[in-house]
Amino acid sequence: MPPRVSTVEFRVRYAETDQMGVVYHANYLIWCEVGRTDHIRAAGTPYRDIERQGITLAVSEAAMRFHAPARYDDRIRVETVLSKVTSRTLVFDYVVSNADTGARLATVSTTLISLDPEGRVTAMPAALRAKLATVSSGAP
Amino acid sequence: MPPRVSTVEFRVRYAETDQMGVVYHANYLIWCEVGRTDHIRAAGTPYRDIERQGITLAVSEAAMRFHAPARYDDRIRVETVLSKVTSRTLVFDYVVSNADTGARLATVSTTLISLDPEGRVTAMPAALRAKLATVSSGAP
Amino acid sequence: MPPRVSTVEFRVRYAETDQMGVVYHANYLIWCEVGRTDHIRAAGTPYRDIERQGITLAVSEAAMRFHAPARYDDRIRVETVLSKVTSRTLVFDYVVSNADTGARLATVSTTLISLDPEGRVTAMPAALRAKLATVSSGAP
Amino acid sequence: MPPRVSTVEFRVRYAETDQMGVVYHANYLIWCEVGRTDHIRAAGTPYRDIERQGITLAVSEAAMRFHAPARYDDRIRVETVLSKVTSRTLVFDYVVSNADTGARLATVSTTLISLDPEGRVTAMPAALRAKLATVSSGAP
């Protein structure tokens, strides 16, 4: 089965625009984080709780392609999937679009690695990994 | 004596502008933090070291007046003074100006309170307070 | 009648936290802008449309008091009122609170001035001012 | 000849950290923009002037790899090269490192496309392209 997709929507904030009159590109990484937070919560493992277990998930790689600009007050949709789960890494893929027109604005992929409190790469706890694998596999 | 003044300069980043073509107002608080960090370092007590002692200085009040806009790539100057020191609070005043024209852009004041690791208001260590009081008094 | 109150809610983004483990103070100004955008839209005058008329509303003053910290993933509520309308200025007042606990996090006031495309202070168009005055007066 | 390298240095701002105690990943794109601005200025074509000619350079792709974290008050160095110039696109590569230890923190590449005032892809003016090509070729 394809991985589950979760969807979040929100409006562009004025602070997110720049003098080109469009959203500054770095903000898309923040929007993807909003999508990722929502996706992990939907998996039954709020990220806040993951950090309380002593695990942080840090972005180790990101790839972004920008297709069309977003503007102030546009309604934005972020669709997130967890496309890959290993013992130490997670790959999330995102499609950012205009919720009103459906126009695709950006496609983004981020790799996260699991770190212990000292910042060393570590395997995720088995229970966490199992929950995330379920979401990724698309199992109901 | 008047309190010591410290000065930092940097250029406006594109990310700091908004679609009005000027710097978004919230960024001035970040610039003041840059001035404050520099001022505290000049006092011989890098803020990084203060946090290592288990004290955080949190902004509890801010007042801002905007006089003229800053634009992309402008050279900005922040002049910072520590105008008041009590056992638990510090008041910093800032003048933000255009370093090339001298035009005054904003005047800001922030009050910081001393917190312990649990987030409770606490008196600053005597040694820290003494160093800060020296800066504030303008003693050489 | 008291001025109308509008309410927006959203979750704290990871990007908005700092190394104290709480929301960095400058973000509250951005949250107030979200509340203000919503409030102006509710008045029947989306800010996007105001700018298309050649008027920009720029923040000229801000006053902020911080009462308690916000943390990652907290649900935030911003209540906004337009407390004063003159020909050239608007004063908005905000209460930022935790939507789940009701705890008050910050109280903020901002003054906005009406600018023409050249950045000069100018009177707002009568129709715009009338709509805003209605909201401010609390008329239904 | 290898392309020219330009170097900028600055300190990590408190606002750039997150609750992991390290710099939030999206800020590296902003730092790269600081490096890019400096690099384009060194080429004799301040980006501010490019926009005045009616050309905007928008980020169309970005690829980022994170090697080690940056922390509050660290001195950061960004080395920028313009690795490729075509009639409509520029590719910049960046190495972000700790200026004190030399540790490599991130490697980033961004592609920028040339847009006209309506946001359509357009060829860069010949004079601009020639200046940029000189920098990229490493010619003195």
> B110 — phi, psi (to 5°)?
-130, 140
Say whether residue B119 is in contact with chain C using an 8 A CB cutoff. yes
- pLDDT more than 90, % of chain A: 85
pLDDT at A80: 97
Alpha helices in C22-125 (DSSP H): 27-42, 47-52
Neighbours of chain C (3+ CB pairs under 8 A): A, B, D
Distances (CA, A) of A117 to A110, A121, B125, C123, D20: 21, 10, 28, 56, 9
Quick one: residue C26, left, alpha or beta (phi over 0 = left, psi -120 to 50 = alpha)? alpha
- pLDDT-based confidence at D19, cuts 50/70/90? very high
Contact B34 D47 (CB under 8 A): no
Say whether residue C59 is in contact with chain B using an 8 A CB cutoff. yes
Record the tokens describing residue B91, joined without a space: 């008041």
pLDDT at A70: 98
Say whether residue B37 is in contact with chain D using an 8 A CB cutoff. yes
Say whether residue A107 is in contact with chain D using an 8 A CB cutoff. no
> Please, what sign has the CA dihedral across residues B50, B56, B61, B63?
positive
CB A104 within 8 A of CB A126: no
Interface test with A, best of D25, D89, D108, D116 (most A CBs within 10 A): D25
Average pLDDT estimate for A73-102: 97
pLDDT at D140: 66
- pLDDT more than 90, % of chain D: 85
Indicate the range of C12-26, C123-137, D23-37 predicted with least confidence: C123-137
The HSE-up count of residue C74 (CA atoms within 13 Å, CB side) is 23
A109 CA to chain D: closest CA distance, Å?
A: 10
For residue C56, is pLDDT > 90? yes
Q: Which residues of chain B have a CB within 8 Å of the CB of D72?
A: 47-48
Q: Which residues of chain B have a CB within 8 Å of the CB of D78?
A: none
- Helices D27-42 and D126-137, packing angle to 10 deg: 100
Say whether residue C24 is in contact with chain D using an 8 A CB cutoff. yes
> Please, what sign has the CA dihedral across residues C120, C125, C126, C130?
negative
pLDDT at A2: 83
Average pLDDT estimate for C28-35: 98
Q: Which residues of chain D have a CB within 8 Å of the CB of A60?
A: 65-66
pLDDT at D135: 85
Q: Which residues of chain D have a CB within 8 Å of the CB of B11?
A: 34, 37
pLDDT at B98: 98
pLDDT at A135: 85
Give CA–CA dist A124/A56, Å, rounded. Answer: 9
pLDDT in tens, D109-127: 999 999 999 999 999 999 9
Contact D48 B73 (CB under 8 A): yes
- pLDDT-based confidence at D3, cuts 50/70/90? confident
Active centre residues of C (catalytic): 18
Q: What is the SS3 assignment for A63?
A: strand
Contact B15 A21 (CB under 8 A): no
For residue A140, is pLDDT > 70? no
Interface test with B, best of D8, D12, D13, D29 (most B CBs within 10 A): D13
Q: Which residues of chain D have a CB within 8 Å of the CB of A20?
A: 56, 58
Indicate the range of C59-68, C123-132, D66-75 predicted with least confidence: C123-132
pLDDT in tens, D63-92: 999 999 999 999 999 999 999 999 999 999
Q: Which of D26, D13, D42, D38 is nearest to D106 (CA)?
A: D26
Contact D58 A66 (CB under 8 A): yes
pLDDT at B45: 87
From A56, A60, A65, residue closest to D66, measured CB to CB = A60
Quick one: CA torsion of D23, D29, D31, D36, rounded to 10 degrees? 170
A140 CA to chain D: closest CA distance, Å?
A: 32
Say whether residue D103 is in contact with chain A using an 8 A CB cutoff. no
The ranges of chain B with pLDDT < 70 are 140
Give CA–CA dist C68/C26, Å, rounded. Answer: 14
ipTM (interface pTM): 0.95
Paired residues of C40 in beta bridges: none
Q: Which of C10, C30, C129 is nearest to C77 (CA)?
A: C10
Residue B18: closest C-alpha in chain A: A18
Contact C69 B56 (CB under 8 A): no
From B10, B13, B33, residue closest to D14, measured CB to CB = B33
Give CA–CA dist D26/A62, Å, rounded. Answer: 10
Q: Which residues of chain B have a CB within 8 Å of the CB of A26?
A: 15
For chain A, give the mean pLDDT: 95
State the DSSP code for C125.
P
Neighbours of chain A (3+ CB pairs under 8 A): B, C, D
For residue D138, is pLDDT > 90? no
Neighbours of chain B (3+ CB pairs under 8 A): A, C, D
Say whether residue A46 is in contact with chain C using an 8 A CB cutoff. yes
pLDDT at C140: 66
Tally the residues of chain D: 140
**Pairing relationship of beta strands D89-98 and D104-115 according to DSSP bridges:** antiparallel
> C78 — phi, psi (to 5°)?
-120, 120
For residue A98, is pLDDT > 80? yes
Give CA–CA dist C65/B36, Å, rounded. Answer: 19
- pLDDT-based confidence at D104, cuts 50/70/90? very high
DSSP B98-139: ETTT--EEEEEEEEEEEE-TTS-B-PPPHHHHHHHHHHHHT-
Contact D65 A60 (CB under 8 A): yes
> C33 — phi, psi (to 5°)?
-65, -35
**The residue to which tokens 């910290």 are assigned:** C69
Give CA–CA dist D2/A37, Å, rounded. Answer: 42
Say whether residue A30 is in contact with chain B using an 8 A CB cutoff. no
For residue C53, is pLDDT > 80? yes
C37 CA to chain A: closest CA distance, Å?
A: 8
Radius of gyration of chain D (CA): 16
Contact D66 A63 (CB under 8 A): no
pLDDT at A136: 86
